Amino acid sequence: MKKKKVYDEASISVLKGLEPVKQRPGMYTKTENPLHILQEIIDNSADEAISGNADVVSIQCFEDGSFSVQDNGRGIPIGIHPVENIPTVELVFTRLHAGGKFNKTMNSSYNFSGGLHGVGVSVTNALSEKMDVSVFRDGYEWNITFKNGVVQGKLTRLKKTKRTGTKIRAWPNSSYFDESNIPLKLLERSLLSKAILLPGVTFDLFDEKKELINRWCFPDGAKEYFNSRVEKTNLIVPVWHFEKYVDTKAGFKKGEGLLVFFAFLDDKKIFQESFVNLIPTTGAGTHVSGFKEGVFSAIKGFADKQNLFLKGVKLISDDVFQKACFFISCKIFDPQFQGQTKERLSNRETQKLISSLVKDAYELWLYNNVKDARKICEFVITCAQERQRNQKLSEKKRISNVAVLPGKLTDCQSTNILENEVFLVEGDSAGGSAKMGRNKVFQAILPLRGKILNSWEIDKVKLLSNAEVNNIATAIGIQAHDSVDQYDDSSLRYGKICILADADVDGAHIQVLLVTLFLKHFPGLVKEGRLFVARPPLYRIDFEGKYRKEFGEKVYILDDYELQEKKKMFLKKKVPDNVFRISRFKGLGEMSASQLWETTLSPKNRRLTNIFVDDGSVKTTNKVMNLLMSKSEAPARRKWMQLKGNQAEIDI
């Protein structure tokens, strides 16, 4: 009989300070790269601008991967906190749920801020090797530094100054992120959106040498931006602009409301963007639902009273918005987001507020512009007719189509592509573990047999004659297409397609072949950012004795680089060699179902790399892929390998 493991009072550990962030960074921020922890600092400076206390925010990116953010706001308070008895600036950077945005009164420092949870800059500090904070306040410059989230020395008063504001420089700890570099284009997009929503506030981006990369400042704000995105020749009716903030309305705070620009386009190039207190809500939320509800009710009510509906046509919200552009910026007194990354607003009362404001205003506009209103109704009714025709065709196709889902596919219960995902798994053995370890509610598993063919130069007919490729296409519900314009996601079955292969050379080869397949024959999926590569661990470290309490019974290691970093850390902490054992996984099939869930399938712990190609990188990507995968490029590939071969990490 096996000896039972001890489970007593000492088995229960309590993570203090910033340790929860360090142990589970994915619960607090995005771990693809350090962009989000940089944005947390920028958001704080933007909140100073929202409150009218700053008009310049400067960001500088350094070649060593660090970055700095400086504003001319009031500066973080430096006095001793009345309850915690430490400098307030130290408290802000070293404690979760500490900040100036919880005290929601009309006289508070931040009435309409993007921050909510009080874990913003403290998370940045926890995941940074070093952080240097300078505060310009009360006639002096003050400085405090942190190392791995821990304060180094006391808050120091430096020289006198008339300046006010805060400057923060952080060096992200690369061990917490899949990629150490900040994607510059995404950062620029974020700064652009803030400049749009803060008219008159200047956002500057500098390089290592303090040379200006870009500057954003929009005196006319959102109007200027929206008009630049919309082709006037494609407008069905003039742009509708509406801005309303409540003064007195039951159940809502003074100043809550929205700014919106809305237009119908006879064009496929639509965009729909939303923000809450300057935070981009890419996952939409209750404010967008309220806006759509208000517009839809107004249009449907107008069409009903004008007897514009045709027999058999039933209007739904998608008919109104499938060819509509909108830009929404909401101010919410106490925003509640789903997750720390703030991609989706969840305040229930916000939907009611926005819906009522929009419905009344848009309904009034429709009746004051009857000619344009009738055009809108005719346009959306045509969209409804087209949708109903397509539904009938799809139904006929579904009934007559003899193709069924692949027998090896273990499907998930959910049909919501916002949450469900399919894993394309290398081999039946790993597929079996994945099926048992997955969350059957939203995770599907499709095992693949060996390596698929190199599809870079294969035509569509030959491609779909391959059984494995045909199974993939059938499972995800998308047919192969040559360009993004041909992409039709109406039958898409999963929001995420995740490639899951062994963490060795053969696994990497399978990953490359599958990525090639999607880049060449399913470019629409890649453009939408739906393709991911899962990164299972290559090593496991088992600890003995007292070190289990410090490091855990088992620690999973992604690759050789991460293993070497762990060994350096053990050496620094003087951990004896005989208290830990390093084992190497031969493949996914060697993992148990619970291990596969814990390391690779669980959204909390897993590492997924998003395969995404933006419009500006298509030519470069195709050139590189052609060099690597084209049969005709063998001489150029050989030359490239001779030049770059010394950089390869050989796994024998």
CATH of the domain at 498: 3.40.50.670
Is 40 part of the annotated catalytic residue set? no
The CATH number of whichever domain residue 25 belongs to comes to: 3.30.565.10
Distance CA 2, CA 376 (A): 74
Answer yes or no: do 378 and 492 share one domain: no
Please answer whether residues 358 and 290 qualify as being in contact, where contact means their C-beta atoms are separated by less than 8 angstroms. Answer: yes
Is residue 597 a part of any domain in this protein? no
Distance CA 566, CA 569 (A): 5
SS3 547: helix
- pLDDT computed for residue 399 by the predictor: 43
Answer yes or no: do 244 and 393 share one domain: yes
Choose, from 48, 411, 502, 598, the residue flagged as catalytic. Answer: 502
- pLDDT computed for residue 589 by the predictor: 75
Please answer whether residues 430 and 458 qualify as being in contact, where contact means their C-beta atoms are separated by less than 8 angstroms. Answer: no
Answer yes or no: do 237 and 122 share one domain: no
Angle, alpha carbons 601-603-604 (nearest 5°): 115
The CATH number of whichever domain residue 266 belongs to comes to: 3.30.230.10
- pLDDT computed for residue 400 by the predictor: 44
Q: Would you state the structure tokens that stand for residue 341, as one six-digit string?
A: 């990354």
- pLDDT computed for residue 595 by the predictor: 86
Integer-rounded Cα Rg, in Å, for the chain is 27
Is residue 599 a part of any domain in this protein? no
Which residues of the chain register pLDDT less than 50? Answer: 1-2, 7-15, 100-118, 397-403, 652
Answer yes or no: do 162 and 227 share one domain: no
For residue 613, give the amino acid letter.
V
Q: How many domains, the chain? A: 3
Answer yes or no: do 100 and 53 share one domain: yes
Supply the pTM of this predicted model: 0.51
Q: Would you state the structure tokens that stand for residue 475, as one six-digit string?
A: 């499972």
Please answer whether residues 182 and 67 qualify as being in contact, where contact means their C-beta atoms are separated by less than 8 angstroms. Answer: yes
Is 426 part of the annotated catalytic residue set? yes
Distance CA 47, CA 115 (A): 8
Answer yes or no: do 31 and 48 share one domain: yes
Is residue 121 a part of any domain in this protein? yes
Answer yes or no: do 435 and 346 share one domain: no
Is residue 584 a part of any domain in this protein? no
Answer yes or no: do 269 and 385 share one domain: yes
Distance CA 626, CA 619 (A): 10
Answer yes or no: do 112 and 235 share one domain: no
Distance CA 370, CA 363 (A): 11
Per the structure, the complete domain to which residue 107 belongs is given by 19-216
Element (H, E) at 331: strand 324-331
Distance CA 385, CA 388 (A): 5
Choose, from 506, 542, 562, 590, the residue flagged as catalytic. Answer: 506
Q: Would you state the structure tokens that stand for residue 380, as one six-digit string?
A: 């959306």
Name residue, tokens 């007897």.
307
Choose, from 55, 372, 504, 633, the residue flagged as catalytic. Answer: 504
309: closest CA among 244, 366, 358, 382?
382
Answer yes or no: do 171 and 301 share one domain: no
Distance CA 287, CA 4 (A): 53
Name residue, tokens 């207190």.
277
- pLDDT computed for residue 401 by the predictor: 46
Is residue 127 a part of any domain in this protein? yes
Is residue 25 a part of any domain in this protein? yes
Answer yes or no: do 171 and 26 share one domain: yes
Q: Which residues of 451-471 are buried (b: 16+ CB within 10 A; e: fewer)?
A: ebebbbebeeeebbebebbeb
Is residue 208 a part of any domain in this protein? yes
* Domain boundary, last residue among 191, 216, 241: 216
Distance CA 157, CA 107 (A): 29
Is 504 part of the annotated catalytic residue set? yes
Q: Would you state the structure tokens that stand for residue 457, as one six-digit string?
A: 């130069």
Is 319 part of the annotated catalytic residue set? no
Answer yes or no: do 354 and 225 share one domain: yes
Count Cβ atoms within 10 A of the Cβ of residue 118 and give its class: 0-12 exposed, 13-18 middle, 19 or more buried. middle
Is residue 573 a part of any domain in this protein? no
- pLDDT computed for residue 238 by the predictor: 92
468: closest CA among 487, 488, 454, 489?
454
